[in-house]
Chains A and B, each alone.
Chain A
Amino acid sequence: QQQVKQSPQSLIVQKGGISIINCAYENTAFDYFPWYQQFPGKGPALLIAIRPDVSEKKEGRFTISFNKSAKQFSLHIMDSQPGDSATYFCAASQETSGSRLTFGEGTQLTVNP
């Protein structure tokens, strides 16, 4: 019930292309769905987050799409750049109860120039 499944494990995209990473969850009590970007040797940094009262959130080139009935959410990176090459983690939590984040397995994104 606490799992968050993330795919793909790795992704290679050409510069300017769209990167899409998908996550699925089981616990319907989750109410906070963030995406984190992590560079080698650094801690995760919050990229964008969504709550289940909306189906989409966009911040610059990054968009989260959220499907509550399917219990799925995805990250879209438009106009992908080599600087976007990093590991991306989706996560979920029952934020209102202060519970821990449950992380997906991570996606290694490589954007070729």
Chain B
Amino acid sequence: GAVVSQHPSRVICKSGTSVKIECRSLDFQATTMFWYRQFPKQSLMLMATSNEGSKATYEQGVEKDKFLINHASLTLSTLTVTSAHPEDSSFYICSLRGAANYGYTFGSGTRLTVV
């Protein structure tokens, strides 16, 4: 159980365009969703947390208008990087947590390259 599907695994986009990353829970209802960013050889940095039925809470220093998070349903969360710039190039990872089970299940990550 507790399977999370994250797509796409890799994306290359031009500077100034927007990119959407999807994260789906396949076998449980995710009441809380987390989005992380990871730079090479570094730890995971939490960007935002979203709970069912409420807007995402962003960490200090994360631009909410640039990184749009939609907790569309109990099985789907999306992260849209708007007007992407080369410095947004990173590895983005979602993590979902259900109400009934403890633990945090991670997606497989999305490598974003902005050229």
Interface of B is mostly: strand
Contact in complex: B109, A49 (CB < 8 Å): no
A41 CA to B51 CA in the complex, in Å?
27
Complex interface: stretch among A56-64, A71-79, A93-101: A93-101
Interface residues of B, CB < 8 Å — how many?
24
Contact in complex: B42, A101 (CB < 8 Å): no
- Of chain B, the residue at the smallest CB distance from A101 is B104
A106 CA to B39 CA in the complex, in Å?
12
A95 CA to B6 CA in the complex, in Å?
23
- B91-111 contacts to A (CB < 8 Å): 91, 93, 95, 97, 102-109, 111
Contact in complex: A49, B108 (CB < 8 Å): no
A102 CA to B56 CA in the complex, in Å?
18
Q: Top 9 A-B pairs ranked by shortest CB distance?
A: A43-B106, A43-B109, A43-B108, A103-B43, A43-B93, A44-B106, A106-B43, A105-B43, A103-B44
